Structure 1
Amino acid sequence: MMSDEYLVECNIDDDDDDDDPEDEEGMRLYLAPHPPPPPQFSSSSLSVTPEPSLQHFDTRDPYGVNKHLKVEFSDVLAEPVSTHTYDRVWVYSSIGFESARIWSYRCLTVLCAVPVSLLSGCLFALLACLHIWCVMPCIQVCHTCLPCLRSLWMSVVNIFITPFCESISRCYTGIFLALSKDIKT
């Protein structure tokens, strides 16, 4: 079964009007209409507070976040060619599956959608507040203090750790290991 995302809408105008311009050989030139500008560039998007409209609710998943949730009857239940039930049983099963899926989803969203969206909004507001007022200032403090701390750490390493490691390495440079295999017969 082909999904709807591969279907292309073709608008064909069969009118024989001679309104279309022609080139020098008499061939018709078909001018494509200009698409509307993106919403961020249109003059209506320059208002301070956008008004919610029903057009915003037509596309509820514009970025395809939940593509994996497109479940149909044939995705869940399928009969092989060798075994088939009665056609009416298959049709009524499909109707029952789709009806139960749709109405269960609708009932659950009536009960859960508003509270879950309120909790999600509060959670994301809390995360944004923490990020803006706690995380980013801490990162900026670290970036500001890091050069001082780096020079202090380099001094500690050069004064204490480097001489200690060099003296240990010089002690062990005089040791030679010779491995031999004793064969006893």
Structure 2
Amino acid sequence: MMSDEYLVDCNIDDDEDEDNEEMPLYLSPHPPPPQFSSSSPSITPQPSLASVDIRDPYGVNQHLKVEFSDVLAEPVSTHTYDRVWVYSGIGFESGRIWGYRCLTVLCAVPVSLLSGCLFALLACLHIWCVMPCIQVCHTCLPCVRSIWMSVVNIFIRPFCESVSRCCTGVYVSLSKD
């Protein structure tokens, strides 16, 4: 049997109206990420560093919710001892939780610092390099288009018309011998 310290009490209410009234604004339906939001940014609640309880407000990492039964499962035909199964589940959950905590203690600050620097670099390149180049291309594109059309009309079009006139006199006939 599993000890009581690993059991979780789940209260299930059938009345949905009460749940919606008690639920804070930031929990009832999650707003879309800012890049997919159609409303103005002032209306969409933004997560802050002060909210420690809600660390994934947009549900970005829903695919990482892994439980013991998602990874290990015994078919009906083969079962191990109940204690082995319970202790395996406890070991899995403890290893997953404490492994994550230890790795985040070692990696979270350096990786977040590097990620912040990477996104700052990407933002800087986009703002100061990519967008000016795109605007220059949009500005010069009509001139380039007119030059390209002149080249096509002067050189390529007469060549293609000559080749087509030469090929119009070619007849292919198939016969059985």
TM-score by length of 1: 0.72
CA distance in 2: counterparts of 1:111 and 1:81, whole angstroms: 41
Q: Deviations over 1:53-77 (max 9, x none)?
A: 53x2221111111111111000111
2:59 maps to 1:64: yes
2:109 maps to 1:106: no
Tell me the matched-pair count.
Answer: 150
Query: Aligned to 2:153, what secondary structure does the other structure show?
Result: helix
Cα 1:73/1:133, change in 2 over 3 Å: same
> Identity of counterpart residues, as a percentage?
77
CA distance in 1: counterparts of 2:107 and 2:149, whole angstroms: 57
* 2:139 alignment partner in structure 1: 144
- Structure 1's unaligned 5+ residue stretches are 1-6, 14-31
* 2:81 alignment partner in structure 1: 86
* 1:40 alignment partner in structure 2: 42
- Structure 2's unaligned 5+ residue stretches are 1-11, 32-40
RMSD: 3.0
CA distance in 2: counterparts of 1:146 and 1:12, whole angstroms: 58
Cα 1:53/1:153, change in 2 over 3 Å: closer
Query: Aligned to 2:121, what secondary structure does the other structure show?
Result: helix
CA distance in 2: counterparts of 1:71 and 1:36, whole angstroms: 27
* 2:127 alignment partner in structure 1: 132
CA distance in 1: counterparts of 2:103 and 2:159, whole angstroms: 68
TM-score by length of 2: 0.75
CA distance in 1: counterparts of 2:13 and 2:88, whole angstroms: 31
